[in-house]
Amino acid sequence: MTDESPSRRAALDTLEPLVDAVREGVISAGWSLSGLQKTSSTEFEGRWAGESTRSAYLFFHREDFETVSVEAYLDETSRGLRGNVGLVADVRPLWELDTVPRALEVLARVATRHLPEGYETPVTLRLRLPRSQEAVRESELEARVKIRIPRAALQAGGAAVAALAGTAVGAFEAILADPEVRTVLDLEGEEGAE
């Protein structure tokens, strides 16, 4: 149950309450925290001279998913807070895909079908060749679907951010359950995607 006290409705202006809100929302949707990493950066040059940032990376898992995770990247800068919550999933081997652009098209279409409207929702496919001497055919692919946390949610407070994080996870689960996404994502044997 979400605490609706005035402090939960106060605008978020530092990293820790944002981390707490995102963690609450994702955990309330049935995912477990796998890890949390915080970093601080203070040495910048050029146009970033004099700036500082504090960042947090949160990693979540569910027992019924092996090749899927939920991750959050949260950042506190001198310009304010920003962040996103994302679905990360393995993509089928390169040789099983029609083409990479077609795979991205399918993933974007499925994401549009299930993600809430009115948010920035970038979709990314990453290719990685584990060793430079390997055949390109052996590339490993990863998909990322993100929901950026809007400034309005940060201004509305922790309860709003927790609700958005929970909604994001529900949308990610709908993406994973969509039959069309199976042509792109490597969900064979994933109980949670059935």
pLDDT digits (tens, 9 = 90+) for 139-177: 889 999 999 999 999 999 999 999 999 999 999 999 999
80 with 11: CB under 8 angstroms?
A: no
pLDDT in tens, 171-182: 999 999 999 999
Contact status, residue 190 vs residue 35, Cβ threshold 8 Å = no
- Domain residue ranges of the chain, discontinuous segments joined by +: 6-189
pTM: 0.88
Angle, CA 20 vertex, CA 18 and CA 23 arms, to 5°: 105
What does the alpha-carbon distance between residue 166 and residue 31 come to, in Å, rounded to a whole number? 10
Least confident span in 29-33, 71-75, 81-85, 134-138: 134-138
